[in-house]
Structures are given as structure tokens and as C-alpha cells.
Chain A
Amino acid sequence: MKAVLGLLAGRLAISTLVLAGVSVLIFGIARVIPGNPARIALGPNATKEQVAKLAAELHLDEPIWIQYGHFVRDLSRGELGISLYTNRPVTTDIAQFLPATLELVLIAGILMIGIGLPLGMVAAKYRGGFVDNLVRIVSLLGVSAPSFVWAVILMLLFAFYLPLFPIAGRIDTEFAIEHVTGFLLVDSLIAGEFRAFGNAMWHLFLPAFALSLSGIGQAARLTRANMVETYEKPYIEMARSYGFPAWRIARRYAFKPSLIPSLTIIGLDFAAMLGNAFLVEAIFAWPGLSRYGVAVILRKDLNAIVGTVLIISAAFLIANLIVDLLIALLNPRIRYARSAR
């Protein structure tokens, strides 16, 4: 366990450094995008004086490193400034929009792991056979089209032509769920509103599935490839020589050891869904952080851009951290690295 904690501390330190680097980068990039944020915010009818006044309020007339200093000072107080788009603190906006995105991405992640890994395992068990080829074709399909294409296709098929699922939004308006965490699935359970929970799930399914399809394909392909390699290992033959049932060998002897190399990539895929969620959210009118992100970029809303990017980077890093932790827990070589005799 000590080894795992040490590893965690190291990764945490690196993540903090990366986040600091990202903040500098995005801070600079946001400011070199052409256009004056004060002018965009005030509109074409504002006078020069009004624009200059707002720019001064936003410290836009000062050198960039001074501006960065202001940003760091705000950040240390847990603030990210005011959004010019919503006129509210950026932190308030993020608190409102992030849960919708996280809910979408988490469900998509669960689908990716819950469908992708078993598919890969079944394919590897029947490697070379019909099931294997079927899984390989299906997973290749999943990987070969970006998630927004799947979003459009799924929406047309299962929401438009066959109205099995809702076309847009997170929940039907008849349900008024008290805002506690912002996660509708959690809040509806807290309120004891199981119908609302079901309704939210129903809304989640299509966008989450669209978002997860390439991840499912990737996870299935990776699991299959790693398992097929593991099947050649001497310990598989030994397991066979002991007459263990084929499915037991598949799960305990071929799947588990191959999970370790697969996990890193699956973790990256999972984190990448945060970015892919942008277009899926746009298509399903999902009121998440991604839509907010697009809106603020178009308006050159500096504080909001920096805040959104930072949060998404942080989520990316946290996802990676969790994966590293899982790998350490699964792989005894890491878990016992320092206590080994």
C-alpha cells in the first residue's frame, strides 16, 4: 500500500505542474485571439469610452504577466472572475453546467467498460471464429466514425424515425427536482423521485451511447488484442493442463492479466470523451459545460474560457490519476514493488 500511496503523491505533484502549465498556455492563447472582449461584450453601439472603461476594469490594458498575476491571486481565493457572457462568476457557471457533462461522460464511461471489455473477452475466447470476426467488425465500425456522427445517426434512427428516446434535454419539464448536487440521477434519488430518475436515464441513454461508441470499439479491440497475446503465455497452458473450465481460464487467467496494459489506453479514451462531448452536447441540446465552452469562446469571454479549459484539464488529469491507481491496485508488481523481498 505504501508503494501505491507514494505513486499517488508523485502523480499528484506532476498533475499540479501540468495544470499550472495549461493555465499559462490557455491564458496566453485566449488573449492572442483577435478581437477586443470588451467591444464584443458591449456590442457595436457602445462608445469608445465605455469600451475603454470595461477593458480597464478587466485589467486588459495592463501587461499580460500582470494580468496573469491577477488571475493567480483570484484562483488562490477559489475565484475565476466574472463571465462577460452570463455576468455571473465563472465558478457559478461551471457549477451549473459541469454536472450535466460529467453525468453524460460517466454514463458513457460505464457503457464503454461494461460493453467494451466483455465484447473483447468474448472475441478473444472465440478467437478466429465467427463471434470474433463479428466483434472485430462491429468494434471497427465504432472506432471509425467520430462520436458526433454517431450522435446524428442514433438521433435520427431512435428519436426521430422511431421515437423511442427523447430528442433533446436532460429531463422532461414535468419533473421539478431540487438542485442538490446538480447530478440529476443523484438529486432525483435524494428526492426519492424514482420516475424522475428513470426519465433522466432515458434522456441520458442516446447521447451517452453515441459518446461511448468509439470507446466501446477501442476497449473491445484492445482487450481482444491483449487477451489473444496472453492466451499464448505458459500459465494459460498450465491452467489448461489442470483442466480448469474454458470460461474460468478466460476470466481469471487471460482477462485479468491483460486488463493491466489495456487500462491506460481505456483511461485516456475515457478522458477524451470530455472533449468529444462538445459536439454530442450540441446535437442533443444537452445543457452541459461543453455548450457553455463553445458559447464563451465565440464571445471571447476570457475568464470563462480559461476557467472552462482548466476544469476540463483537471478532469482529464483526475481520470488519469484514477486509472494509474487502478493499475497499481490490479498489478501486484506495482503494489508490492517496495515490500518485495
Chain B
Amino acid sequence: MTRMALEISDLRLSFEGITETTEVLHGISLSVAPEERVALVGESGSGKSVTARAVLGLLQSQKRVRMSGRIEFEGQDLAAMTSRQRQALRGSRLSMIFQDPVSSLNPVYRIQTQFHEVLKRDDPSISLEDAKRRIRPMLSEVSIAEPDRVLESFPFQLSGGMNQRVMIAMALINEPSLLIADEPGTALDVTVQDQTLRLMRRLVERRRAAVLFISHNLGIVREFSDRIYVIHTGRIVEEGPTDAVFANPGHPYTRALLAAVPRITGGDIPEIDENPSAYEAPRVVHAPAAGVA
């Protein structure tokens, strides 16, 4: 069996409050093979972002967070690493794209300065000029026609779609082996979102990066991913190759999500019926298609 890009087993996570502790992940297990595009789908509050942040190691430093289970990145246990080692992975082997491109870029620095910082993660002594030489072709890969104008700009001077492309380019410039995209571009309008997702897909294919794609938009997921995990209130309720899940949804929650698809072509959060008891049904696992690990 090939080494997984990401392997999460039995991840439990809770936030300690003043009086009580809320468990938000109740034993999540999922894996992403190298170069594979995997979607994590679920409604708002189901625990998608928390999972992504745990993988990046952004939650471990918080005092209120209790975590158990195992997260392995390229076969290495994240918990066994020092925080410095985890930090070294971020931004170079492992990177993330966020939901709102405009507010995720630093408002007081030019795009080139922010890009420069990212490139310094891999090469601390790189000069701004050398950095720009590396950035320009990357920007044209995300269809930015005037790279120099964009590099000179502050985020607020660019459109949301432009910022999104910048963020995609930034996340991939250090050639990470795993990209986590947490509802990329949900803050943008649908056509722009669609364009940028196509760009992202092209880029990850070229760079042979694995992707964990988080979304609640099943239309997009169907187009983008090889495999799907459906998450509901902190549990994976169904998993399998995209086609199999769409063709034959086994879990009542997945069926409810799919039934809501026509209504979410506008990119909205699906409104599904409250039916928690039926959603307690056991996990559905579709057999992987032949040839896939």
C-alpha cells in the first residue's frame, strides 16, 4: 500500500468551556492518497473547518482544545513532532486556502511583500527580485494577465476573484504535497468561484498535489473530487468514490444533502430537513473502484 499524503484516524476533539466541554469531532477517520482529490462535505457546524485546522496544527496550541487520535502527514505522526517541526511543514509541505480571500490577505502589505514572506519559508535568504521572478510565472498560471500590477497592489485594490487567484498561487508556490481548501471562494459570486476552482484544479494537477477539499456545495464537489467523505455532527457518515456516492447514496443524511442539491446551484448552504434520528444510521462505505488504493 502506498504511503498516504494524509491519514486521520479516530480524531476526537473538544473545546473546554467554563462549565462544560463540547465534543465537536467524535472520532473522524479519513485518508488522502498522494495526488488524490478528496472532498469533505457536510452542513454548517458539522466540524469541517475544525478538522482542517487540526491537520494544520493550528488548534493544538489552544489551551481549551482537547484532542485525541492520530493525524499522520506523509507517514509522520503530527503529535510526535515538536511544534517547531509542525511549523516547518506549514507553508512548505502543507498549505491552506481560506474561504474569504479579501480578508485573509494582510491589508497593510502589498501582494509582493506577502508572497515574498511565503517564499522565505522555503528559502529564508531569497531577495524580493528573485521572489518576483518566481512569482510572475505562477501568477500567469492562475490567469493573471498583468502580474506586476497585481504584485504592486494592496489586497483592497483587487477584486475578490483576483485575491482568490493570488491566494491559490501563494498556497501552491512552494509546491506543497497537500493542499487544504476550506470552502474556497464561498464569499465570491458563483461564476467567479467556478473559474477559480477550475484554475485551482489545473494547478494541483500540474503540481501533483493532493487536495482535501472542504465544501457544502455538492455540485462543485462532484466536479472537483475523486472521493467523498460526508460529515455530520462530527462523524463521518458515508464515504466512497464520488460517482458511487452520487449514484447510490446509502446514508439518510447523504440522501437529504443530495435532495437539496438543486437548491444550492446558487452556492447557498443547503437547507435540509431536521431528521437527526434517521441520521444516526451506521456509516456507509462504498467499495473503492478497482485500481485505487
Contacts and interface: CB of A to CB of B under 8 A. Distances in A.
Interface stretch (B28-36, B104-112, B226-234): B104-112
A245 B121 CA distance: 10
Nearest to B89: A243
Chain A interface residue number, banded:
20 to 34
Contact of A237 (B58, B87, B88): B58
A73 interface: no
Contacts of B98: 234, 237-238, 241
A326 to B, nearest CB: 13
Interface string A233-262: 111011111111100000011001100100
A245 B120 CA distance: 12
Interface string B96-107: 101110011111
Contacts of A235: 103-107
Contacts of B109: 252
With a 10 A CB-CB cut-off, give which of B63, B107, B118, B156 has the most chain A CB atoms.
Answer: B107
Interface in A314-337: 330-333, 336
Contacts of A48: none
B160 interface: no
Interface in B131-182: 154, 156-157
B26 to A, nearest CB: 24
Contacts of B154: 332-333, 336
Chain B interface residue number, banded:
20 to 34
A239 B121 CA distance: 11
A190 B66 CA distance: 64
B157 A340 contact: yes
Interface in B54-72: 56, 58, 63
Interface in A216-242: 233-235, 237-242
B96 A239 contact: no
B33 to A, nearest CB: 22
Nearest to A260: B108
A128 B110 CA distance: 32
Interface of A: 128, 233-235, 237-245, 252-253, 256-257, 260, 330-333, 336, 340-341
21 contacts: A233-B103, A234-B98, A234-B99, A234-B100, A235-B105, A237-B98, A238-B104, A240-B56, A241-B56, A241-B90, A242-B117, A242-B121, A243-B87, A243-B121, A244-B117, A244-B121, A252-B117, A260-B108, A330-B108, A332-B110, A332-B156
